[in-house]
């Protein structure tokens, strides 16, 4: 499963306690209150205790995604994710998935630009089993050329269904290419068809051996487990795997100046037109991390539900849109994105909605945000952090994603304090830095009339009512 459009969520990070007991770092009271340690081979291990039920989730995150693919090999990271379920000598022919299912568990995986992750959710007493199996396929994957051919067809079909047959996805891909020209983020996670068709068993195994190693991975366990139970298991199954020499990650600097511009896609399959304005934005590791929290608050003000600014103004008050909002991704290893979007009400020209959305940007930059908007956004974001504690997956997703994208446990656990401390001035500084740029990419999705195929009229009948026989084609 590939992750195309990044998730809309506030990612939360961690504060470490100053003392160390038995080489295990303990975080002070925060969001998920994780405990951490590192194996001798360099693998990071995070435990998020959750004793509400006797269930655990194991996640293994690799610092390897689409940005790490060699030139001309787009899609190999995602193809490898599929092929990791083909098996090893110990668990051949799909036995991995069968074993998880027979033990009452669930599993899946996903690939993004910056990482690939695998997870299982099982009863507590099945944790040693899934740890053993996941550690086994970290280094013992076996593939045949037929495995690669078969799964490549599956990926082609996935691309056809999710991208090629979806005008909105095609437009997003074009927008990404324009926005990140010259960067590894310009190409899609699922890959280009011309590259996918050429990927071989050797290409997949080369990527696997270069990037799948304990010192390039993070193990996150969330659920009904204590550190006294987990640490021996991690050492037994993962600690015995030798580290590998991992290549450095690619430069993520934008080598081409972002020119912005306009992209319009008209397609008969489009039933609901849409407009988006996409800006390059800072992330935690690119362009100034101090802007990330203010931009997360700005995103909540613009798009946090039916009372948010864009929905209130364009949908409720002016009645020219059926949906409107924003999206901010400040978590990537490279440049982030800030997106404004809206879908017009039937009968409303896209040009009118575009003008209104630009008016909203102008008004925001000229007048700023109110104290009430700031406080409402803070409350909403902090409530999300509270709800996340009750989930068996939110902590593993937040902490695993943070650690493979250049952030720390501190970043996750201290997130609520930083949300509470953000000021209107900081939010507006971020808004002007991002939305004040002229190199925005404006993307328009609209319908188009179906092309009717004209049927040639049959020739008039000859005498006797007979029609002439068709002229034979060459080669027939």
| CATH number for the domain that contains residue 42 | 3.30.830.10
Same domain, 143 and 222: yes
In a domain, 24, yes or no: no
Same domain, 307 and 234: no
Tens digit of pLDDT for each residue in 125-166?
999 999 999 999 999 999 999 999 999 999 999 999 999 999
Handedness of CA 188, 194, 200, 202 (dihedral sign): negative
Same domain, 211 and 295: no
In a domain, 19, yes or no: no
In a domain, 247, yes or no: no
How many CB atoms within 10 Å of residue 379?
A: 13
Same domain, 200 and 293: no
Same domain, 129 and 196: yes
Same domain, 88 and 228: yes
Give the integer Cα–Cα distance in Å for 222 and 51. 9
Q: Are strands 217-223 and 336-344 parallel, antiparallel or unpaired?
A: unpaired
In a domain, 12, yes or no: no
Mean pLDDT along residues 308-318:
97
Tens digit of pLDDT for each residue in 198-223?
999 999 999 999 999 999 999 999 99
In a domain, 23, yes or no: no
Same domain, 226 and 331: no
In a domain, 6, yes or no: no
Question: Residue 107: left if φ>0, alpha if ψ -120 to 50, beta else—which one?
Answer: beta
Q: What domain range is 52 assigned to?
A: 35-238
Same domain, 326 and 221: no
In a domain, 465, yes or no: no
- Could you tell me which residues are beta bridge partners of residue 341? 276, 325
Confidence of residue 438 (pLDDT cuts 50, 70, 90): confident
Instruction: At 339, give phi and psi (nearest 5°).
Output: -125, 130
Same domain, 441 and 365: yes
Indicate if the pLDDT at residue 177 is higher than 50: yes
Same domain, 229 and 353: no
Same domain, 227 and 112: yes
Catalytic (active-site) positions? 81
* Per-residue pLDDT, 459: 43
> Which one of 189, 204, 238 terminates a domain?
238
In a domain, 159, yes or no: yes
Claim: this prediction has a pTM higher than 0.85 = yes
Cα angle 459, 460, 461 (rounded to 5 degrees) comes to 115
Same domain, 53 and 164: yes
Indicate if the pLDDT at residue 461 is higher than 70: no
Tens digit of pLDDT for each residue in 61-71?
999 999 999 99
How many CB atoms within 10 Å of residue 116?
A: 28
Give me the number of domains the chain comprises.
2
Cα angle 337, 342, 343 (rounded to 5 degrees) comes to 140
Quickly list DSSP for 4-27.
-SPP-----B--EEEEEETTEEEE
Joined together, the tokens standing for residue 75 give 């899609």
* In the block, residue with structure tokens 């991992």: 246
């Amino acid at each position: 499963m590939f992750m195309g459009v990044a998730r809309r969520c506030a990612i939360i990070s961690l504060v470490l306690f100053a003392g160390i007991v038995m080489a295990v770092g303990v975080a002070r009271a925060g969001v998920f209150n994780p405990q951490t340690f590192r194996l001798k081979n360099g693998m990071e291990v995070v435990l998020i205790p959750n004793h509400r039920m006797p269930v655990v989730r194991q996640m293994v995150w690799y610092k390897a995604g689409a940005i790490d693919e060699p030139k001309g090999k787009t899609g190999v990271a995602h193809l490898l994710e599929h092929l990791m379920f083909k098996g090893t000598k110990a668990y051949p022919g799909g036995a991995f998935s069968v074993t998880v299912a027979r033990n009452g568990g669930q599993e899946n995986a996903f690939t993004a630009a910056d990482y690939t992750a695998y997870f299982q959710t099982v009863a507590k007493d099945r944790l040693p089993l899934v740890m053993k199996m996941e550690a086994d396929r970290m280094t013992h994957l076996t593939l045949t050329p037929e495995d690669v051919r078969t799964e490549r067809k599956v990926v082609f079909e996935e691309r056809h269904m999710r991208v090629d047959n979806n005008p909105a996805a095609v437009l997003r891909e074009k927008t990404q290419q324009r926005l990140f020209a010259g960067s590894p983020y310009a190409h899609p996670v699922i890959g280009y068809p011309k590259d996918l068709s050429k990927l071989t068993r050797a290409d997949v195994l080369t990527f696997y051996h270069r990037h799948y190693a304990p010192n390039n991975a993070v193990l996150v366990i969330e659920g009904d487990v204590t550190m006294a139970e987990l640490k021996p298991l991690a050492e037994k199954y993962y600690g015995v795997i030798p580290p590998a020499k991992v290549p450095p990650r690619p430069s993520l600097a934008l080598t081409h100046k972002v020119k912005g511009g306009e992209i319009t896609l008209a397609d008969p399959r489009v039933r609901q037109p849409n407009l988006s304005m996409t800006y390059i934005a800072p992330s935690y590791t690119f362009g100034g991390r101090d802007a990330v929290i203010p931009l997360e608050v700005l995103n909540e003000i613009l798009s946090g539900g039916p009372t948010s600014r864009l929905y209130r103004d364009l949908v409720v008050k002016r009645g020219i849109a059926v949906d409107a909002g924003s999206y901010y991704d400040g978590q990537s290893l490279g440049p982030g994105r800030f997106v404004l979007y809206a879908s017009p009400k039937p009968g409303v020209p896209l040009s009118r909605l575009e003008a209104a959305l630009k008016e909203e940007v102008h008004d925001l930059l000229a007048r700023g945000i109110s104290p009430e908007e700031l406080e409402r956004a803070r409350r909403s974001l902090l409530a999300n952090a509270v709800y996340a504690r009750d989930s068996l997956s939110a902590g593993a997703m937040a902490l695993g994603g943070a650690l493979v994208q250049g952030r720390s446990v501190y970043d996750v656990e201290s997130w609520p304090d930083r949300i509470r401390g953000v000021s209107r001035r900081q939010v507006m500084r971020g808004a002007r830095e991002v939305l004040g740029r002229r190199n925005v990419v404006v993307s328009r999705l609209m319908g188009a009339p179906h092309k009717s195929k004209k049927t040639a009229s049959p020739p008039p009948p000859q005498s006797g009512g007979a029609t002439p026989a068709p002229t034979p084609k060459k080669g027939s």
